[in-house]
Structure 1
Amino acid sequence: MNLGNNLYQARKKKGLSQEDAAEKLGVSRQTISKWETDETLPDIRQAKQLSMLYGLSLDELISFDVEMQEIQDVIDRMSDEVTEKIDWTKAWSKKYPILASYQKEVDISYYAEELCRLLIRMEKEYGYNELDSMLVLKDILARVWKNRGKKNSGK
């Protein structure tokens, strides 16, 4: 995506017309249009004002991805009660079928015991609660997996 399209998408996501954005920024509607069509670029001060108006950092504004923003918005709005009701294995198994079938092949109790040991150790060593310990271990596992992929792709 280019900057103009990012500006357009961010403005639309915020529910503003070009006129609304122009008025709030103290520029003309034509200026907003020129920015959104990449005819001209906002200066750094104007870019900062745009980022504040649209509720995005400058980095986010430059690389704005409306789909990622929509996903983040859904996550932010989701309550704990709703997340507890979701069968995450079933939901993700549509994309990753292994999640629906591995239970028949893998010695789950063995891995569960190992993971429980790691969770308990994390709680004791760092004072994290159960949920925080699980989230930290999940994040570490994701990083290990990502790094393995980088090493294996370099071979």
Structure 2
Amino acid sequence: MNLGNNLFNARKKSGLSQEEVAEKLGVSRQTISKWETDETLPDIRQAKKLALLYHLSLDELIDFDVNLKEIEQVIENTSEETQKKVDWTKVWGKKYPILTSYQNEVNIKDYADQLKEMTDRLKREYGYNDIDAFLVLKDILANIWNTKGQ
């Protein structure tokens, strides 16, 4: 995706017209149109103003992905009560079938005991509560996974 498309999608997601953006930035509507069609580029000051207007960081604006933003908003706006109703294993199992079948193959207790020891250690050494210790451990595993190919 190019910057023009990112600017267009971010503006649309913000519910603003080209005229409204132009007025807020003190430029013409044609200027906004040229930015969105990649005919010209905003300078760094204007790009920063656009990012602020669209409630994004400059990096997010440059890499704006409307689908990713929608997913982030759904997660952010989902209450704890609703999250507890979701069968996450079933949901993720559609994408990763192993999540629905490993329970019949793996001696879960062996791993559960070790993982409990690790979360207990995080709680003891850093004062984390249960959920924070779990999330830190999950993130450590994700980092291991993400760096294994490097």
Partner secondary structure for residue 95 of structure 2: coil
Query: AA paired with 1:83?
Result: Q
Could you report, residue by residue, the CA deviation over 1:47-77 in whole angstroms, capped at 9, with x for unpaired residues?
1110110011111111111111111111110
1:89 aligns with 2:89: yes
Aligned to 1:40: 40
Q: Report 1:26-65 matches (<5 A).
A: 26-65=26-65
- CA distance in 2 between counterparts of 1:145 and 1:50 reads 35
Could you report, residue by residue, the CA deviation over 1:85-107 in whole angstroms, capped at 9, with x for unpaired residues?
11100000000000010000000
Instruction: State the percentage of identical aligned residues.
Output: 66
- CA distance in 2 between counterparts of 1:34 and 1:24 reads 16
Partner secondary structure for residue 139 of structure 1: helix
Partner secondary structure for residue 119 of structure 1: helix
Query: AA paired with 2:2?
Result: N
Aligned to 1:21: 21
Q: Following TM superposition, by how much is the alpha carbon of 1:44 offset from its aligned partner in structure 2, in angstroms?
A: 1.2
Please give the TM-score of this superposition, normalised by the length of structure 2. 0.97
Q: Following TM superposition, by how much is the alpha carbon of 1:123 offset from its aligned partner in structure 2, in angstroms?
A: 0.4
Please give the TM-score of this superposition, normalised by the length of structure 1. 0.94
Could you report, residue by residue, the CA deviation over 1:101-137 in whole angstroms, capped at 9, with x for unpaired residues?
0000000111111111111111001100000000000
CA RMSD in angstroms comes to 0.8
- CA distance in 2 between counterparts of 1:101 and 1:45 reads 53
- CA distance in 1 between counterparts of 2:75 and 2:84 reads 13
- CA distance in 2 between counterparts of 1:30 and 1:43 reads 15
Q: Following TM superposition, by how much is the alpha carbon of 1:4 offset from its aligned partner in structure 2, in angstroms?
A: 0.5
Specify every segment of 5 or more residues in structure 1 that has no aligned partner in the other structure, as ranges.
Answer: none
- CA distance in 2 between counterparts of 1:28 and 1:5 reads 19
Q: Following TM superposition, by how much is the alpha carbon of 1:39 offset from its aligned partner in structure 2, in angstroms?
A: 0.6
Partner secondary structure for residue 38 of structure 1: coil
Could you report, residue by residue, the CA deviation over 1:17-59 in whole angstroms, capped at 9, with x for unpaired residues?
1111111111111110000000111111111110110011111
